Structure formats: C-alpha cells, structure tokens
Amino acid sequence: MSIDTTLQTIYDLPMSASIRENVNAFPLLESLHVVALAVVFGTIMIVDLRLIGVASHRREASRLIREFLPYTWVAFMLAVVTGLGMFMSNALSYAANTYFLLKMVALMVAGLNMAWFHSTAYRRISEWDETMPPPAAARFAGFTSLFTWMVVIFLGRWIGFTLEMVW
Amino acid sequence: MSLTTFGDWLYATPFSTALRQTTWVIPDVQTVHILAITVIVGSAIATELRLARVFATDRPVADVLSRYLPWMKWALVVLLVTGALLVIAEPGRTLTSTIFWTKMALVAGASLVTLRARRSLVVGMGDGSATQVEPATSRSLALLMLLVWCAIIFCGRFIAYI
C-alpha cells in the first residue's frame, strides 16, 4: 500500500469526515491544540531556562524537572491527539505541506535532544543539581530545546497559512 | 464615530495596508503572540497552582510569585503589542466581533488579578522577615484564573471563525 493510499484511507475514515463536516470541530481542535502547546512549551521553557542557568523557584534542577514533567507530558498527549484530529481531516493536504513536514522534523529533533540529555548530563545530575551555571552539556540541551520548540510553534502557525486542499 | 467607521478608517491607513500586504507579517506576529501566551500559561501554572496549594507547596508563595510575575508582565506587554498589530492589520475581523471584546474583558480581568492582587502578595511577604505566614488565598480563584487563561486562548482562536 503506497503512502497516498494510506493517506486517502485516513481521509475517508468516518471520523475524519465528521471533523471536516462539523463547522465547530476544527476551531475546537485548534483551540485545544494551542492550550496544549502553551502548557507544553510554557513548562518546558521554565526547565530549559534553568538548564541554561536562569534561577528558578527552587535550587535543585532535578526536582524542578520532576515537578513539571507530568504537566508537560499530559499536555503533550493532548497536543498529539488534537494534532492527529486536524491531520486526519485533511491527511493528503498536510502530507503535501512543507511546513507540516518540517514541523515533524523539528519535533523529532526536540525528541532526540531530550533523549540525548537524559542519557548524558541528566544521569550525573546529582553532581550539578545546585551548580550555577550548569555544565555545558545541560546548557546546550536547554538552548537546543528552547530553539527547537520555538521553531515547532513557528512552523505550526505557518501551516494554517499555506495549507492547500488536496483531494 | 462608531467602531465600524473607525475600523474602516483604520483599515484604509497606509500602516494597516502595509501590514496586510506584507505576506509574512500576520503569521509571524501571530507566532510571537502564541510564544508570549506560552510564557503566561507556564508561569500561571506555577503561580496559580502554588496558590491553590497543589504545586511546590514546600516553597514560600512569595518566592514562587517573584520568580514568575516579571515574566508574566513582559509577556503581557508582548501580547498587547502583537495583538494591537493584528487588530490594526485586520480591524474588521476584530473590532466588531463579540468574541474579541469578550477576550479583551477576560484579558483585562486576568491581568488585573495577576499584576495587582498577585503582586501584592510578593510586596506584602517578600521582605525576608522570619515570621512569614502563608496568605489565605482562594483556591477557587487560582483554578478560575487557569480556566480564564484557557478561555482567552479559545476566544483568540475563535475570532478567526465567528
């Protein structure tokens, strides 16, 4: 099965059709998506700034990370679900949109950066938990994360202005 | 002068026309607008949930507030400036919209609570005195504030549709 047939199958799902046909569904999904991304980036930003060396409301970086992580993940799940809802309503159009494809790449970069941080600097966090500024690896991960998530939001906003309907 | 006449006048100004006709302006200004709201939401989660006694309860209220309130203040400034640009670019879509004015009312209320009531808790307690007592803040107001910020986001998105 080619990619196009898969996308067409997704497009033809009853749920995709109902998102397309209900006038309120799309704006509702968009609004929830913005709320979700605001929680995701809003909480990640606080952690990233701490990794870069901006003092937070507590000294220990590890506790700050653990404190925000549940909010970030729950909101990220909501962003994925609402994002999938929008995608399936016009799967072929999104798959043909450069900003959408670049956004998926940027999301992967954000994920890889997080995985890299967790398998390196984060393992030794007890050694620099209260050290200011944090080690170079942590600062690098913080900068990369801040930058990448801003790019994700930028690309996401541009999808709405460049999406061309493909049937 | 009615809002409609004012909107028509604004629409015809060279500045409004320039904003509209430069294709990258509106998407990029909206991106900055969204980035500013993420700063607000992240900070509101930390401060309002602290006041609701569900987040960072081992940290003094004044410490948590004083960490995030300056960020919220500057994010509100950025929201106001980028929001104003978006209104100037497309007055017809905003000035006559009920959703837009609902959003403005909610923003005014939420900003007032954040910049006046929340800040007064820092000024009142942040003097480092050893006899700090937790302020008796309303848990429902804190949760309501988070809901209001979400409602503001919903209104913002729905301006484009209604």
Say which of A31, A56, A154 has its CB closest to residue B158: A31
Residues of chain A found within 8 Å of residue B89, distances taken between Cβ atoms? none
Number of domains in chain A: 1
CB contact set of B154 (below 8 Å; sequence gap of 6+)? A31, A35
Asked if the model's pLDDT at residue A53 lies above 60, the reply is yes
Q: Which of B158, B107, B117 is nearest to A25 (CA)?
A: B158
Q: Are A89 and A15 in contact (CB under 8 A)?
A: no
Average pLDDT, chain A: 94
In a domain, A147, yes or no: yes
Q: How close, in Å, is residue A166 to chain B by CA atoms?
A: 22
Residues of chain B found within 8 Å of residue A150, distances taken between Cβ atoms? 35
Say whether B67 and A57 touch across the interface (CB within 8 A). yes
Asked if the model's pLDDT at residue B130 lies above 50, the reply is no
Take residue B22 and report the two structure tokens written for it: 């430069």
Residues of chain A found within 8 Å of residue B59, distances taken between Cβ atoms? 57-58
For residue A50, give its domain range.
3-162
In a domain, A83, yes or no: yes
User: Euclidean distance between the first and final Cα of chain A, in Å?
Assistant: 18
CA A105 – CA B76 distance, rounded (Å): 31
Complex ipTM value: 0.94
Question: Tens digit of pLDDT for each residue in B61-80?
Answer: 999 999 999 999 999 999 99
CB contact set of A155 (below 8 Å; sequence gap of 6+)? A99, A100, A102, A103, A106
CA B2 – CA B18 distance, rounded (Å): 24
> Averaged over B83-88, what is the pLDDT?
96
Residue-wise burial string across A82-120, b where 16 or more C-beta atoms lie within 10 A, e elsewhere: bbebbbbbbbbbbbbbebbebbeebbebbeebbeebeee
In a domain, A167, yes or no: no
Question: Tens digit of pLDDT for each residue in A1-48?
Answer: 688 899 999 999 999 999 999 999 999 999 999 999 999 999 999 999
Say which of A38, A57, A160 has its CB closest to residue B64: A57
Residues of chain A found within 8 Å of residue B63, distances taken between Cβ atoms? 57
In a domain, A145, yes or no: yes
> Which spans in B52-138 are helix H?
61-89, 91-94, 98-112, 119-125
Among chain B residues, the shortest Cα distance to A153 is held by B31
Amino acid at B106: L
CA angle B32, B35, B36 (to 5 degrees): 90
Question: Tens digit of pLDDT for each residue in B8-64?
Answer: 999 999 999 999 999 999 999 999 999 999 999 999 999 999 999 999 989 999 999
Instruction: Show which residues on chain B lie within 8 Å of chain A, measured between beta carbons.
Output: 26-28, 30-31, 34-35, 37-46, 50, 55-56, 59, 63-64, 67-68, 150, 153-154, 156-158, 160-161
